[in-house]
Structures are given as structure tokens and as C-alpha cells.
A and B are shown apart, each in its own frame.
Chain A
């Protein structure tokens, strides 16, 4: 397997949507290619970091204000 072929299936490997057979082939490639191993590990980490960190936080006070405004307008029939 070439690095380009590995890359074409990278998302499916990360998302766990692969056949056992293809998964084994990709894992075999990972075992012998440090480049792809780095790409695989750091791409997974990238997703994990964005998933676990709130970068656009809505402060509670603002949330309450917006929430009240929405509900007030819905009460009037929008």
C-alpha cells in the first residue's frame, strides 16, 4: 500500500467505517510507515481537540438574554 492509498482511506479508518480486511491492510501500512503513523495520530488528535474544547462559548448571561428574547417573540406569535 502506498501513502497516497493510505490517505484515501484515512477518514474511514478514523471514523471506524471500514471492512476488517481493509482495516488490517491500513494497520499493516501504519506499522511500517512512520510518516503515515504521525499523520494518523495527529489527525485523530486534531479532531479530538476541536471536539473537546469550546472555542465559541456562549456566556450564561448572554444565553439567558437571547433565550428570553426568543421566547418573548414566540409568545407574540413571532
Chain B
């Protein structure tokens, strides 16, 4: 049996499990390792939701402190990282709620229902279009574009496509159904694609015309 199990690899524990066990036994250095492993991701996710640098810093710290306090509640039936992300998402939404004083904030807001509409923009992109911009310009384009998405689409895209959570993990983290995650992911991807087309279509950005009136070659 042991041989079969080791071949299947099903009982191979995630390395985080051992670290969590050590933290539970009072080993703070193990928690230090977990924080180092995931602080960048948590900062990114918080920044995507709050869209505010200081809030993201606070959320990241609060999420790690809360996770440390609540470690006994971590069941181990989900990944530690997914559990941590759920805490950070909740902390981020609470932070937004505070900033908007009383206005309800949830990942359900601002959702349009344009499901199934076929994208209009037919312009193809230049090969490696990001090379027409320097790093700072590109980061600004990507930030501006994703910030324009409705919150409920943006969070799903970030968790699923940027942070690599599965559809099931994203659904569990956000308290959404799997069909809802799938539908939002498709619309998020298509909206981002359409918005990025402004910057990346053929003829755009080449020969130094990044901010000019270059038209697409249709």
C-alpha cells in the first residue's frame, strides 16, 4: 500500500504543512519563512483590491497577524496559501468599507450582465507588443487597464490568472459559485484584452508613436 501511495503522490504533504505544524509548536522562525514566502503575493492582491498603497501595506501586515492568531482554526483541508489569501481578501474589503464609510463593499458590486457578447475590436496586436514600451510605461498601462475593471471581475482575474489559484480555490476564497467565477473570469479576460488593444494593436507604439494618433491597420 505504501508503495502505491508514494507512486500516486497523493499523501505527499505540501511543504507549508510542516511549517504550519512547527509554528503551532511555537517555532516563530517557521512563521518567518511562511511570511517571506507569501508577503509579495498578499501585498499584490491587497493592492489590486484596495487600489491604495498604504491600505495594501496595512492589509498585508494585518492579514499575517490575523493568520498567526487564528492558526489553530486552519484545518489543513485547504492549502495554507489559499487560506491566507482569503484572510487578505476579507481584510482588503473591510479596509475599503472603512474608507467609503458605511457604503457596502463586496465583490458583487458593479457587475454588468453582457454575457456572451462577441468582442467588437478586431484589430490584431503587434508581435511582442509590450516591447514598444519601457518597463515603467508598460506597468502604468497594465495598472490603468486593470483598475478600470469592475471590482468583481478584477479580483477573480487576479486570483485566478495572476496568482494561479484554481477555479475551485477562487470560488471558495470569494464565496462565489464555480459558474460565477467562470463567467466573471471570461468577461474579465475579454474586457482586459479589449482595453489593452488600444495600446498593443499593430502599428501602435512602433516608431516612437506611443502617444500619437497612430491608427490601427484594419
| A55 contacts B139, C-beta separation under 8 Å | yes
- Taking a contact as CB atoms under 8 Å apart, the answer to whether B189 and A56 are in contact is no
B69 at the interface (CB under 8 A from A): yes
B68: nearest chain-A partner, CB-CB = A74
Residue ID in chain B nearest A52 by CB atoms? B130
Chain B: interface size category: 35 or more
The secondary-structure label for the interface of chain B is helix
Scan B132-166; emit 1 where CB is below 8 A from any A CB, else 0.
Answer: 00000011001100100000000001000110000
Smallest Cβ-Cβ distance to B192: which chain A residue: A46
Q: Which one of A3, A56, A75 lies within 8 Å of B44 (CB-CB)?
A: A56
Cβ of A8 under 8 Å from chain B: yes
Docked pose: A54 CA to B44 CA in angstroms: 9
With contact pairs A42-B125, A46-B192, A69-B61 given, residues A74 and B146 touching in the complex (Cβ less than 8 Å): no
Kindly list chain B residues whose C-beta atoms are within 8 Å of the C-beta of A1: none
Contacts of B39 in A (CB 8 A): 58, 63, 66-67, 70
Chain A residues contacting B146 (CB-CB under 8 Å) are 50, 55
The interface of chain B, by Cβ under 8 A from chain A, is 28, 31-32, 35-36, 39-40, 43-44, 47-48, 56-57, 60-61, 64-65, 68-69, 116, 118-119, 122-125, 129-130, 138-139, 142-143, 146, 157, 161-162, 182, 185-186, 189-190, 192-193, 196-197, 200
